[in-house]
Amino acid sequence: MSVSIELAPLDRAAMATVREHLDRLTKPPGSLGRLEALIVQLAGITGSNAPRVEQPAIAVFAADHGVTAQGVSAYPSAVTAQMVANFVAGGAAINVLARAAGAKLVVVDVGVVGPELAVSSRVRAGTRDMTVEPAMTRDEALRAIGIGRDVVGGLVADGCDAIALGEMGIGNTTAASALVALLTGRPPAEVTGRGTGLDDEAVRRKVVVIEAALRLHQPGRGDPLGTLAAVGGLEIAALVGAMLAGGESRIPIILDGFITGAAALVAVGIAPTLAPRLIASHRSAEPGHRVVLEQLGLEPLLDLDLRLGEGSGAALALPLLRAGTLLLAEMATFESAGVSGPPLEGG
């Protein structure tokens, strides 16, 4: 069984209208740099000449990974559940950043091991060890995708007009590196990094683990769902679903770092016209993230060497999106303000 989704292309008319309006605002044409491209993209995504980011939400999906049995993380697997408890208590970085950005935060347990504390839609308690067997069945992956879809669908029904995505899952940089290696054909060593803080020797062991998993699983290059099931994670699958729902709802989808980027590669495999609806918030310190961004054709807004996950980079980028929409909505035009207009071409 294969899944393929056709999304509407960006709204070229809205983009042209907004591009033209930007040049009437009281600033030298193009002087807001990449913020202008972002504003035009928001118009294309939403199909509106006046896109808004008034009710952003951050959805964080959490799950555990069987591959942690192979010693691929600096932290024990139990930290996933502990951090979910921290999210629920409001003490994690993403709680602070969501409050700072005025964004609603939803934490969804799609596969944590341990007590169920957050919004629970647990498909199973952690994936299987990808070095021994597929991490998920195709059905489990599809169920996790459905959960991500439902979460974002519900948020949109409540008025959410921009979705920022994050994750928590000890071991999930291993899953993401395996996914990126399979989906791009790059060698694991090139797309594997320190995760939460491995030293050089531990990174080499992590690469060996990923190589072992890749020898075991050889899904076709045209089978993103099979790849996801083989070496992905439940939270990564939920992220894929969240992106598909964001694409269908025509709201901007703000990626975080490496894990959400790996999920985006899967999502674009399923819905090839999704990519222009994605916004890369930041360039992560994980080396594989560069490969992901290149593959997706995305240029991140921030470059702050973040490597926390949780949606932290996406949350930090929200004020830039909001600022862009407000500039478009509230700035005076040369005409309305009585300011002498831009010079003639070449003047």
Active site residues: 310
> Between the CA of residue 105 and those of 87, 163, 312, what are the distances in Å?
9, 10, 11
For position 50 contacting a copy of itself by CB under 8 A, the verdict is no
Closest C-alpha to 314, from 260, 234, 246, 239: 260
144 Cβ contact list (under 8 Å, min separation 6): 63, 110, 111, 123, 136, 234, 235, 237, 238, 241
Q: How far apart are CA 287 and CA 262, in angstroms?
A: 12
Q: Which of 30, 159, 187, 297 binds a copy of itself (CB under 8 A)?
A: 30
Choice from 296, 301, 311, 314 touching a copy of itself (CB under 8 A) = 301
CA dist., res. 87 & res. 50, Å (int): 34
Does the protein bind a copy of itself through residue 191 (CB under 8 A)?
Answer: no
Q: Does 336 bind a copy of itself (CB under 8 A)?
A: yes
Cβ distance to a copy of itself smaller for residue 6 or 330: 330
Q: Which two tokens stand for residue 66?
A: 């069987």
CA 301, CA 100: separation in Å to the nearest integer? 18
Alpha helices in the chain, H assignment, sequence order: 12-22, 34-46, 78-89, 93-101, 138-157, 172-184, 200-216, 224-231, 234-248, 258-270, 287-296, 312-330, 334-337
Tokens representing 38 are 């972002």
308 contacts a copy of itself (rule: CB under 8 A):
yes
The contact pattern for a copy of itself, residues 218-257, with x = CB under 8 A and - = no contact, is: ----------------------------------------
User: Around 41, how many Cα atoms within 13 Å sit in the side-chain half-sphere?
Assistant: 20
Q: Which of residues 60-89 bind a copy of itself (CB under 8 A)?
A: 74-76, 78-79, 82-83, 85-86, 89
Question: With respect to a copy of itself, which residue has the nearer C-beta, 73 or 227?
Answer: 73
Q: Which of 10, 14, 18, 32 binds a copy of itself (CB under 8 A)?
A: 32
CA neighbours closer than 13 Å in the CB half-sphere of residue 143 = 13
* Shortest separation between residue 329's beta carbon and a copy of itself, angstroms: 8
User: 97 or 262: whose CB is closer to a copy of itself?
Assistant: 97
> Among residues 2, 54, 91, 297, which is the contact residue for a copy of itself, using CB under 8 A?
91
If binding is defined by CB under 8 A, does position 19 make contact with a copy of itself?
Answer: no
What minimum distance in Å lies between the beta carbon of 79 and a copy of itself? 5
Of the candidates 278, 67, 48, 73, the one whose C-alpha atom is nearest the C-alpha of residue 163 is 278
Select from 5, 8, 13, 31 the one that contacts a copy of itself (CB under 8 A). 31
22 binds a copy of itself (CB under 8 A): no
Q: Indicate whether 41 belongs to the interface with a copy of itself (CB under 8 A).
A: no
**Alpha helix (H) residue ranges in 34-164:** 34-46, 78-89, 93-101, 138-157
Binding site for a copy of itself (CB under 8 A): 25-35, 74-76, 78-79, 82-83, 85-86, 89, 91-93, 95-97, 99-101, 196-197, 199, 285, 301-308, 312, 316, 319-320, 322-323, 326-327, 330-332, 336-340, 342-343, 346-347
